[in-house]
Each structure stands twice: as structure tokens, then as C-alpha cells.
Amino acid sequence: MKNELRVVGIQADLVWENPTKNLAFFDEKIRSLPKETDLVVLPEMFTTGFTMEPKNVAEKMNGKTISWMLKIAKENDLAITGSLVIEDDLKYYNRLVFVKPSGKIETYDKRHSFSLAGEDKEYTSGNKKLIVTYKGWKICPLICYDLRFPVWTRNTENYDVLIYVANWPIKRIKAWNTLLKARAIENISYTIGVNRTGTDANNYAYSGNSVIIDCLGDEISNLPKNEIGIIEATLIKSNQQKIREQLGFLNDKDDFNILL
């Protein structure tokens, strides 16, 4: 068990439907990180941008990007996560992949499809929450639109870190900033939000606003609007646990089952 977890989020101007260029960018950034880094978080659909043409870019679980993630994790002794377009059993998924240095792979398929953009018509929604155990930390990784649904996010598993990877447009960035803090506060959890920057092929603009927030809603690390770069922080488990014990809010949470 590790009391401190060194996390990094990489904010990027994704090249539209171009895995080669996007992977080259992330590869360079990751290899320049301090050796103490434990976890790297990439944006939603980090190889392509938020495309509604999965047939153009979909990969299999034994494809190029997963192989790259396995290599990065092993060579740099860190975990890496982000979502990409995956074809599985003749269906397309917006799938978050969490790769550990050991080579173990865990996945989460985006539960809440963004119907405003037609994601529900092109991608199959997931129905299972993922809790990753890594270095003694329990991590709950989610994807973009999931941020608007607090019941799905509710900390019934006593996780320590909540992650959102996203392509969240600047037009609704106030909701991103507000809801990330709300999710951190109500779940008494470190919360990491990694978004993209730039403008995609559909002319949607993104400002990034990636951030790491503590369990009281205070920002630990953030990036200025439209900047390409990283957010980074050392999360301290004992500090968060002390706050949870002092406040006891999670002890009073509602019991419920989600009907899928």
C-alpha cells in the first residue's frame, strides 16, 4: 500500500482521427515525466478526438494503441488510462482502458452516451462501473458525460480517487468546472478531470480546464484556458482518510440499487 500517489494528466490539442500523431505527442510527454510518476491520465478518445464515425478509427483490444499503452506502462513503471474507440464483438465502444505496469488491463465502457451528438446511435453503452485497485488506492474512472449523473458516480465503493476523461466543449465549460468540484465534495474524494483543447473537425472548440481537486473541493493543480501541458499532484491518502473520519459524511449516504 502506498500513502502517496503521484498523478499526471495530459491536456492536448488532439489531431482529428489521427492516432499516429496523437500517440507520438503523448509518447514524448510521458517519457519526459519524472520517474516518480505513478499514474498518467489522458483525455477521452485520446487517439482520435470525439468522432461519431467509429468505423473509420476503431481498434481491437489487441491493436496498436493498447500495445502502445502496455509498452509505456512497462517501460516507465506507471499506470496509464484514457478512452479510445474500440470494436468488440461487432459493436463499437467508447472504452476507457486502464493499464498497469504489470501488464494487467481493466476496462470501463462509457455508461452515459452523449445523445446530443448522436453517440447513443453509434456506440454501445456500458452497464458496469469499474473500481481499479492500484498501489493500495481504489480508483473510479469515468468518461465525460458521466459527470452529469451523480447517482452513477456515488461513492458506494469507498474509492479514493475519481477520474473523468473528457472532450468537454468550451460552450459548456462552466458545468465542467462546477460539477467536478461537486463530485469531489459529495464523494469526499480526490477528483481528476482531464479535458482536451483546440477545435475538432466539427468546429467544436475545447478550452481544456483540466484540474486536480481535493476532497474538500479545492484545486491542487490546473491549467490555464487553452494551454497544452500537464496537471500534476501528489495525492496523500492519509490526509483524505483523516478528513473522512472527522466529517463522516460517507457514513450517512443513501442505500440504493441502480436499475439498468
Active site residues: 44, 110, 144
Q: Which residues of 133-143 are buried (b: 16+ CB within 10 A; e: fewer)?
A: ebbebbbbbbb
Q: Which grid coordinates belong to 103?
A: 501488464
Query: Parallel, antiparallel, or unpaired: how do β-strands 190-194 and 211-213 relate?
Result: antiparallel
Instruction: Give the whole-angstrom CA distance, residue 44 versus residue 187.
Output: 22
Q: Which of these, 121, 142, 120, lies nearest to 131 by C-alpha position?
A: 142
Instruction: Give the distance, in angstroms, between the CA of residue 91 and the centroid of all CA atoms in the same chain.
Output: 22
Structural contact between residues 248 and 43, judged by C-beta atoms closer than 8 angstroms: no
